[in-house]
Structure 1
Amino acid sequence: MKFSRILGTGGYLPSRVMTNADLEAIVDTTDSWIRERTGIEKRHLASEGETCCDLAEIAARRALEAAGLHPADLDLILVATTTPDQFFPSTACLLQQRLDVHGCPAFDLQAVCAGFVYAMDVADKYIRAGAAKHVLVVGAETISRLLDWNDRTTCVLFGDGAGAVVLGAADEPGIISTHIHADGAYKELLQVPGGHGNGRADLAKLEMRGNEVFRFAVTTLGRIVDETLEANGLTKDAIDWLIPHQANIRIIQATARKLDLPMERVIVTVAEHGNTSSASIPLAFDQAVRDGRIQRGETLLMEAFGGGFTWGSVLVRY
């Protein structure tokens, strides 16, 4: 039986930066309020003309370089995104063209902030089934374009970016297990209600009931930690690093407490780029790999929660 192993990581943040001080000039908020409630200090925004595929391409090429592979080696391209460049083709197909890859399957996944976790689940199953040897998984977002910059409860939270990993077939796990869930009953708590399918493209702005989302996220992420450990017969001390979705420092801290992990063993990048939705876990992962904190052989728990609601985890021996 084949397993999937992470061969390389990559990330990219746009050069345009918006600080909390910049936001103070736009909406009724303060730097201290944003830091205390969210942990965010700044966010990166795609420039005019800079697309989701632009971000994805840079992250993907960096991951391929780190893996020592060429685009032609890929058997599958997955892009997790809430903000595709076009209705169709998919951003994955646009990325495939950029990489000059021909013939292998390429498609997008839409699970909002849990998109990268969902995509890792799919990639792992392709490799375990023998349907692919090398898979590119990208989380990429230009979510700033869904924001209402007059809504101080949401516009301070989000930013743009892309992160990527390359998975390869291996004789021993890599990815130990994946766990993904959804419950559409809570859709109105975090949504973009407009779309062309329902004839309401005029409502294509993000809406969130922050307090309710916070409570549900903390409870749900606690449960996914328990589920992941129990499924693998592990105790909390088996986890070397927590790599959480970078939405809110208080949610991250609550999950760390659930694992009895000191914050020194949690990869936290939310201050630097805010909530980049599906890009946030691979961005954090790439940074920690490249700065030397995460080492080969260590056990990592990735977890995320997003609109839908969607949530999930990936347990990895790196």
Structure 2
Amino acid sequence: MSTNSNSRPVLDVPAEIVLLIVDHLDLHDLFFLSQTSRRLRSISKRNWVSKLGEMPVEDKLKFWYGLAYVLPDYWACRTCCRLHSVDPLDIPSSYCGRHRIHGTRLLYGYNLQDHHKQLALKYKRLGYDHALEPLLRPHEEIFGSKKYPLQKYSARPKIDNNQFLLDERWTLTPKASLKDRTPRPKCNVTVCAHMMLSATELRWNHEGPKWVISVDGLNERLFLQLWENEPYKQYRCSCSKCLTSLAVEMDSTCCVVVQAFHNYGPFSSPEDEASEVHLRNAQTISIRRVRQWSEFLSAGSLFVDSDAVA
């Protein structure tokens, strides 16, 4: 074997063997192979723009996700079926000009999207800790009004065993005055794409607060009543359509604590709907908005001129 550091043993493989290998490659792998040398380009040559134009949307997305898995500065967009360049200011805890439509989620400054998961898992695999840190930064905020209960919200994402996990917590605070027995309007919490929790605080004489809580989206609707004399009584349930578990309890201060734990799975191709279906706002960005804050990267612009490779 040659000791020349510039030698390329793969170029010495007979063309028949290379063709057998090429026949078993996914399209995105074939694309990367075509960028390595003139010889391999001639073997794997394709009109990529034309090829993509003939493919169904599912196959196009698989191609872009395959490229995004390798390219550190780009992510694959389901909405546009293209690659977009990474915006370092686009993190889950930043509004970043996005259009959101999920009810009470409009109140929260935490907006996890599919590409955040893509990039976090990729940066973790590549060891890009500096780029990973903002995507996994914990988020906390407090909001409310005289009309609605004071709410504390926190989101703590992490990656464990190549799985993207998110721990969310809402704390609903009762009224300060025992004299005010007027029921407050319902406070809605979007647990996942399938479950919605509603909480209403009532007061009866001086018995302390009573919370009436319902959870829609389960096989059977969950209906709870939490009283001041029953702190720490916890109720648990899980979503039947995604990997989300829910726990509800009232603590010693009569606050209702709602905790949701999500497993968004590994970096996955678009056909793996099980790991993507419960991203609550994965489709809330309009194409017009996307074009405003991130540039397209098409197959044509990715393709390197043959003169640029050996």
Determine if the TM-score, normalized by the shorter chain, exceeds 0.5: no
Q: Which has the higher contact order (CA 8 A, sep 6+)?
A: 1
Greater helix proportion:
1
Q: TM-score normalised to the size of structure 2?
A: 0.27
